Amino acid sequence: MILVTGATGNLGKATINSLLNKGIAVNNITALVRDKTKAAEFKSKGIQVKVGDYEDFGSLKSAFQGVDKLLLISSSSDIANRFEQHKNVINAAKETDVKHIIYTSFDMKNLQQSIMGKEVQYHAHTAAYLKQIAVPYTLMDNTMYADMIPFLSGKDILNNGISIPAGDGKTPFLPITEMAEANAVVLTTQGHENKEYIIAAETAFSFAEIAHLLSDITGKTIAYYQPKVSSYIAQLVQEGFSEDDAAYLARFAGAIAKGEFDTNKSDVKQLLGRSPIGLKDFLRTIYSK
Ligand SMILES: NC(=O)c1ccc[n+]([C@@H]2O[C@H](COP(=O)([O-])OP(=O)(O)OC[C@H]3O[C@@H](n4cnc5c(N)ncnc54)[C@H](OP(=O)(O)O)[C@@H]3O)[C@@H](O)[C@H]2O)c1
């Protein structure tokens, strides 16, 4: 039995779709959700649904009975408590004899020394804990989602240009669907125990280069502006982000500017058996509609 946590989120849903596309039977897949009202789509497909919260150890232990492989998708709630949440999942998996835990970590040059501090350090703590807990693990070090580019770049970028204080820093953005397929490969094939994979594109792009790609795609000149951090935060708030989320995204922009995501390594081709979709093709699917 394969269990996917965070099943109602972007990566969890896409991973379950990839498992189904690989022909994994619905009765071999369990979706862990914390709000069962969000589980109708899984139930209609015949996928098993278990309710569990990373904060509630008992709920995790009962959800993990009979599970062989567990994909722990990193939490999106309570950033200060994420390592404790992940520890609950890992401890519950160990106590219920889960055979293999796969964790979605984050691909940065140095999680411990990032300017994002505690906002990314919990990935390093979770990875270290997994290594010491003596259950076979796999680390999927995900880069930034290519799907984040529209959120980071500002409103109506085809008319306004890209606006983000990200300097010349390059990021090997990869679409969520490709990360999901890599998860599905690790969940359904052998030989991934105690390995760490870099889930990133082979080529990294700066936002200036992304502006060029978009200019090619659209035939319009798309400019790249670098507002001050305070103006960038105001821009994101105007787009509907909360002050906190806007400041958080601005710190991501700062990490991009410092080249913290430009790790220059990728294991995606090896896992997928093909090159992942390139950034230009991905952007074309969004911006040439
Ligand atoms: N690489 C990147 O660029 C990037 C970007 C954004 C986020 N991330 C990280 O990658 C993770 C997956 O990304 P995503 O886009 O799939 O995020 P997402 O759409 O926000 O999904 C997060 C999932 O985690 C679940 N969750 C949150 N807190 C939980 C808890 N206490 N107990 C059980 N489940 C909980 C959510 O459940 P609900 O549906 O009930 O909220 C949801 O299913 C995120 O959680 C975040 O840590 C990475």
pLDDT tens per residue, range 237-259: 999 999 999 999 999 999 999 99
| Three-class DSSP category at 37 | helix
Q: What digits encode the pLDDT tens for the residues 189-224?
A: 999 999 999 999 999 999 999 999 999 999 999 999
Where does residue 222 rank: exposed (0-12), middle (13-18), buried (19+ CB within 10 A)?
Answer: buried
Closest residue by CA, ligand 1 atom 38: 8
Phi, psi of 251 (to 5 degrees): -70, -35
Closest residue by CA, ligand 1 atom 44: 76
282 CB contacts (<8 Å, ≥6 apart)? 146, 173, 175
Q: What digits encode the pLDDT tens for the residues 100-158?
A: 999 999 999 999 999 999 999 999 999 999 999 989 999 999 999 999 999 999 999 99
Terminal-residue alpha carbon distance, the chain: 39
Q: Where are the beta strands (DSSP E) in 68-189?
A: 69-72, 100-106, 137-142, 162-163
Ligand 1 pocket test: pick from 76, 86, 143, 197 the residue with the most ligand atoms within 8 Å of its Cβ: 76
The size of the chain, in residues, is 289
| More confident call, 288 vs 117 | 117
- The pLDDT score that the predictor gives to residue 289 is 59
Name the CATH superfamily, with its identifier, for domain 144-173+202-263+277-289: UDP-galactose 4-epimerase, domain 1 (3.90.25.10)
User: Which atom belonging to ligand 1 lies closest to the Cα atom of 76?
Assistant: 45
pLDDT interval class at 83 (50, 70, 90): very high
pLDDT at 18 over 70: yes
User: Which atom belonging to ligand 1 lies closest to the Cα atom of 74?
Assistant: 47
pLDDT interval class at 7 (50, 70, 90): very high
Packing angle between helix 176-188 and helix 10-21, nearest 10 degrees? Answer: 50
pTM of the model: 0.97
Question: Cα of 94 to ligand 1 centre, how many Å?
Answer: 22
| Domain range annotation of the chain | 2-142, 144-173+202-263+277-289
CA distance 115 to 122: 14
Closest residue by CA, ligand 1 atom 1: 144
pLDDT at 260 over 80: yes
- The pLDDT score that the predictor gives to residue 189 is 98
User: Which atom belonging to ligand 1 lies closest to the Cα atom of 12?
Assistant: 16
Mean pLDDT to the nearest integer, 14-38? 97
Locus of tokens 């081709």: 269
* Whether 123 contacts 106, CB under 8 Å: yes
- The pLDDT score that the predictor gives to residue 134 is 83
The number of angstroms, rounded, from the C-alpha of 92 to the middle of its chain's C-alpha atoms is 23
Tell which residue, 201, 176, 144, has the closest CA to residue 16: 176
Question: Cα of 11 to ligand 1 centre, how many Å?
Answer: 8
Mean pLDDT to the nearest integer, 161-176? 98
Closest residue by CA, ligand 1 atom 3: 144
- The pLDDT score that the predictor gives to residue 110 is 96
User: Which atom belonging to ligand 1 lies closest to the Cα atom of 144?
Assistant: 3
Pocket of ligand 1 (CB under 6 A): 6-12, 34-35, 38, 53-55, 73-77, 85, 104, 142, 144-145, 148
Locus of tokens 């379950």: 16
CA distance 232 to 89: 36
100 CB contacts (<8 Å, ≥6 apart)? 68, 69, 70, 135, 136, 137, 138, 192, 193
Q: Considering the domain 2-142 in this protein, what is its CATH number? A: 3.40.50.720
The number of angstroms, rounded, from the C-alpha of 124 to the middle of its chain's C-alpha atoms is 15
Question: Cα of 144 to ligand 1 centre, how many Å?
Answer: 13
Question: Cα of 5 to ligand 1 centre, how many Å?
Answer: 9
